[in-house]
Structure 1
Amino acid sequence: MLKHIVLVNLTADADDAYLAEVGAKIDALPEVIDQVVGVAYGSDIGLTSGSSDFAIIVDLDDVESYAAYAAHEAHVELAELIKKGVASRTVIDLKC
């Protein structure tokens, strides 16, 4: 299992409508990309100082699945949408 984790800090104009659009595209990933096993995402609940504003976790079976996911049009469109509301981004890929 591989977890692709994206942590973002949002721009001031990234409103609820923007986050709803991002969430809808994330929810659709398992339906349109066969390699996506599962997804989770959400806003930080504020327990730790200095945390990112929003996180996305995409579960994939292996590195080959990640390559297919990364190249898929649905992922590319999601990444472009995310860039519109992101001040900074950090990514980590974990093999579990």
Structure 2
Amino acid sequence: MQALSVFKSLHRTRMAVFRDDDRALTAARFKINEEFRKNKNETSEENIQKMIKMGTDVEAVLRQAVLQVEHVGEEKLLLRPRESLMLENVPYCDEPRKKS
């Protein structure tokens, strides 16, 4: 049951991270499906838990660290940030904030 949850989570994250990039969507789908298919007959609970942890870690890296960038000119790139990556922008200040 956990493995199915990780499988679905990876595919949902793939769809968000690589939105509008058919090549990356296809490659990620192929890799996710290949890894799960390759290990579908695993019976060792220890190995299964290790693979579930690996899948969860990969999903987190995709969600938190992968940016989508598109070439829009010979020397120009367009960054497509996902809303989930947008953090509060706090201006830099040399002086520490005063405690209230």
TM over 0.5: no
Higher helix residue share? 2
Under a length normalisation based on structure 1, what TM-score does the superposition of the two structures give?
Answer: 0.36
Structure with higher Rg: it is 2
Higher relative contact order (CA 8 A, sep 6+): 1
Under a length normalisation based on structure 2, what TM-score does the superposition of the two structures give?
Answer: 0.35
